[in-house]
Structure 1
Amino acid sequence: MMAADSPSSSSSGVARRLAHHHQAVLGLLLGLFVSLVLYTTVSGQFRSTNTIVVLQSTPAEGTEQNAMTSPPPVSSASSVPNNSIQGSVHDNKEKYQLGQTVDASDKMEGDLTRQELDQDGRYGNNGSNVKHGAPRKPICDLSDLRYDICDISGDARAIGLNRTILYVPPADERDTGGSEWAIKDQSRKLLVDIIEVKVKTLSTAQSLVAPECTSRHAVPAVVFAMNGLTGNPWHGFGDVLIPLFITTRAYDGEVQFLVTELQPWFVDKYRLILANLSRYDIVDFNKDDGVRCYPHIIVGLHSHRDLGIDPARTPRNYSMLDFRMYIRDIFLLPQDGQGIPYKEANRKNATTGTGTEKQKPRLMLINRGGNRKFVNIPEISAAVQAAGFEVLVEEPSFEVRLEEFSRVVDSCDVLMGAHGAALTSFFFLRTNAAMLQVVPWGVDTAMAYFGVQAKEMMLQDVEYNIAAEESTLYEKYGKDHPMISDPESIHRQGWELTRQYFWLEQDIRINVTRFAPVLHHLLQTLRG
């Protein structure tokens, strides 16, 4: 027979039960307090709303013909009116001449180049802007020397006014820490004026109070900046359009652009390219006050090199030749298989029996409006004609419509100009047409900036390196100045001095006698 519990043991059991009860109550209160603090912190940072709009991201309206006269629609909390676009173009017409950059843009480019030179061609610390430990499955890659990129698949939420992209992981992948990055969403992460976009992987607690979607989209989104050095066509293509092509071409238009630092003039100027890479409204992300939810968001732009594509690093092995063909296609230029213009015209004349005089190869002579311009254009034009070419002199301004200008370039067999951004028009040339690049004194970047690309796009690359006497620097400073007698000594003193002398102060006076053999060789190459 069991003995009954003693009074002392009974009292002890009651005390233990009361203690456990108190601990449970305290634990519950503490949990409620922690939840309240987390909710207050996160909801204060991200505005939440219960309104959800389900969207298929409205496609850009209009036919292909309309796209030639209207820029892609821009969507924002306060949309950009057409007169705002035109005003921006007018205000910047003197600043963004083809082949020139504004002073601020020049300075940024100089600062960027100096940084690259100071670091022996390498870029900065790739991991310095990681604010927390890496997530279990990293969504951001900071390892490339040129750019940072984030690739989010799943529950991705874009909050424009906060410049924030959130990733809400599946419940079984969440942890207590979360991760955060600050990403410069362009192809050059050293540019100082690209404001960072925050990318966050939410923790378990943060995921429970994440801001709710105000719209849901069925297509992926790409977040990228439109500012930087883009006023210069070489940088417009090299820093934005080619990286955008690399990043989004495989989507075949089924992707939406969320643009930070949207530039209306850029949208207007390159509207055909933008409208073909994305069928959807461009979102002015800085002004967007909703919470847009996508199944996939990319932050930043892939970039391989200056104005270049590495096919091995693209989803479908895209190359620079593919890019040129793509540009020709969307600008409705003739099928490339027709041959260069003068040969095609002579072939048709021979077939139809019309025309008694053979057509000469047509050379477009582009003159810059600022530095590195030709100071003896009439003499050069006469020499080109004497060599057997038809010559067309152009000084394209910012207002030039690429739709029209592309057709003029396409009608030419040779594009000739001084080393500079205007040569970017070589995208509109036909296969086997030629780019004749006049290389100023002391400039040694001709091949890297244009020559390699021309060859990759199946264009003829011809370069004429001027002699010291053909530079206006010779006239100004004399033969004994180090920039004439020993240009390498100027290069060794750094980018600022190099840029000042060889890029900004110099114009070109071609010695047409010395130039004549180059024209003769070019003519024979085109005929071959």
Structure 2
Amino acid sequence: MQVHLHASHPTNLTTVIRPYSMQESPYVMNYITPVTITTKQTQVACDHNHEHPAVIFSSGGYTGNLFHEFNENIIPLFITTRLFKFRVHFIVVDHKPSFLKKYRRVFSRLSDHEIINPVTDSSVHCFPGAITGLKFHKFLGINTSENPQTYYTMPDFRNFIRQTYKLKTRTVLDTQNPPVLLLISRQRTRKFLNQPELVKMMEELGFRVIIASLDKEMSNIEKFSHVINSCSVMMGAHGAGLANEMFLPDGAVMIQVRPLGFQYGVDAFYSEPGPGMGLKYLEYRIAPGESSLADVYGLDHPIVADTASVAAKGGYAAARDIYLNKQDLRLNLNRFRATLVEALGIIGSFRDVANA
């Protein structure tokens, strides 16, 4: 794809941009289609003259993963295009129909125009201006200092998401009593091996429990967002499914269960963004005996007893392979009970303060 710029004075500059927000990841950037921008004085006949500017971005990369989709596409698109108030055209390289269909409600609220796929549309489109690429601020968040006059914040984005998906529950005051707890049930790795006993304890404490599978319930974001929006608490092991906290009402509690050994991104991905979204964050760190790795290697093996040594020897890839891809969890119900009681207390305090 080529973008020709009309310069105010004769120039002959060419640059290449891969329009994906995760610029610091060389691995993924290798798979993003480059866009060539040139100021060469070329005679170009316009097949279509547009009144509004264009935003060029890639729907490739890590799309297919909810966490990455929000971080690298949806939030950056909101930051970039809301200033245009729908009057903008989207040009999508690495056009991925499944991704565009999944977020069709988001795209329709950010632009009044049909999305342009440069692979199937070989005509020449002329625009008054264009933005090539999106900007990543931080995980599940917006850096207000980098916005025009601190114009957009994470609460603004959350309001946009509520309006887009017609989510009616704004705060936990509007949720049901007894409180509803959403349990993210992973099916491949980081499974809760004693999930039936875990659910029973939750119900005994007074929760109504909804169990959601990444593969089934979460596949339809338009439908699942309403389920999450009705909950006071969301809980799950570290993973992409926790990004669904985006749809929780204000004052809700998100509980992250931290697996043994793997610490990369655990704080930046989920614990730090929570307060910026008006949520309360709780964390449960499993003990070595709660990991399936203890069953395989024994409590005295370095993989269990000295987790830092794995990353020191094999780096990120080795730590990810063992602690994310080969580990399941058997929570100590007595220990975890205290976290659930704390969550109940937070919800109760929020309601007490609001009703005071």
1:454 alignment partner, one of 256, 268, 274:
274
In structure 1, the partner of 2:189 is 371
Query: Are 1:259 and 1:286, in contact at CA under 8 Å, matched by a contact in 2?
Result: no
- Residue 340 of structure 1 deviates from its aligned partner by 4.3
Is 2:7 aligned against 1:174?
A: no
> How far apart, CA to CA, are the structure 2 residues paired with 1:164 and 1:241?
24
- Residue 335 of structure 1 deviates from its aligned partner by 5.6
Is 2:35 aligned against 1:197?
A: yes
In structure 2, the partner of 1:519 is 340
Is 2:301 aligned against 1:467?
A: no
**Secondary structure of residue in 1 paired with 2:282:** strand
2:19 alignment partner, one of 169, 185, 199:
185
Is 2:107 aligned against 1:289?
A: no
Aligned pair in 2 of structure 1 residues 421, 522: CA closer, same or farther (>3 Å)? same
Unaligned runs of 5+ in 1: 1-162, 343-358
**Secondary structure of residue in 2 paired with 1:339:** helix
- Residue 338 of structure 1 deviates from its aligned partner by 7.3
- Quick one: which amino acid aligns to residue 421 of structure 1? A
- Residue 492 of structure 1 deviates from its aligned partner by 1.6
Query: Are 1:223 and 1:297, in contact at CA under 8 Å, matched by a contact in 2?
Result: yes
Is 2:238 aligned against 1:405?
A: no
Q: Between 488-497 and 399-408, report the one with greater CA deviation.
A: 399-408
In structure 2, the partner of 1:425 is 244
Percent identity (aligned) = 35
Aligned pair in 2 of structure 1 residues 510, 337: CA closer, same or farther (>3 Å)? closer
Equivalent residue pairs, number: 341
Aligned positions of 1:7-26 closer than 5 A? none
Is 2:217 aligned against 1:381?
A: no
> How far apart, CA to CA, are the structure 2 residues paired with 1:431 and 1:470?
32
Aligned positions of 1:104-183 closer than 5 A? 163-170=1-8, 173-175=9-11, 178-183=12-17
Query: Are 1:328 and 1:427, in contact at CA under 8 Å, matched by a contact in 2?
Result: no
In structure 1, the partner of 2:76 is 243
TM-score normalized by the length of structure 2: 0.92
**Secondary structure of residue in 1 paired with 2:43:** coil
Query: Are 2:58 and 2:94, in contact at CA under 8 Å, matched by a contact in 1?
Result: yes
- Quick one: which amino acid aligns to residue 298 of structure 2? G
TM-score normalized by the length of structure 1: 0.63
Query: Are 2:82 and 2:110, in contact at CA under 8 Å, matched by a contact in 1?
Result: yes
Query: Are 1:340 and 1:431, in contact at CA under 8 Å, matched by a contact in 2?
Result: no
- Quick one: which amino acid aligns to residue 222 of structure 1? V
Query: Are 1:363 and 1:415, in contact at CA under 8 Å, matched by a contact in 2?
Result: yes
- Quick one: which amino acid aligns to residue 163 of structure 2? D
> How far apart, CA to CA, are the structure 2 residues paired with 1:450 and 1:327?
18
In structure 1, the partner of 2:67 is 234
> How far apart, CA to CA, are the structure 2 residues paired with 1:340 and 1:498?
42
Aligned positions of 1:30-69 closer than 5 A? none
- Residue 270 of structure 1 deviates from its aligned partner by 1.0
> How far apart, CA to CA, are the structure 1 residues paired with 2:284 and 2:174?
22
> How far apart, CA to CA, are the structure 1 residues paired with 2:206 and 2:238?
24
**Secondary structure of residue in 2 paired with 1:327:** helix
**Secondary structure of residue in 2 paired with 1:168:** coil
> How far apart, CA to CA, are the structure 2 residues paired with 1:338 and 1:477?
43
- Which aligned runs of 4 or more in structure 1 are off by greater than 6 angstroms? none
In structure 1, the partner of 2:210 is 392
> How far apart, CA to CA, are the structure 2 residues paired with 1:335 and 1:387?
23
RMSD: 1.5
**Secondary structure of residue in 1 paired with 2:56:** strand
In structure 2, the partner of 1:43 is none
Greater Rg, structure 1 or structure 2? 1
- Quick one: which amino acid aligns to residue 169 of structure 1? A
In structure 1, the partner of 2:354 is none
In structure 1, the partner of 2:353 is none
- Residue 339 of structure 1 deviates from its aligned partner by 2.7
Is 2:91 aligned against 1:258?
A: yes
Aligned pair in 2 of structure 1 residues 338, 231: CA closer, same or farther (>3 Å)? closer
> How far apart, CA to CA, are the structure 1 residues paired with 2:225 and 2:295?
36
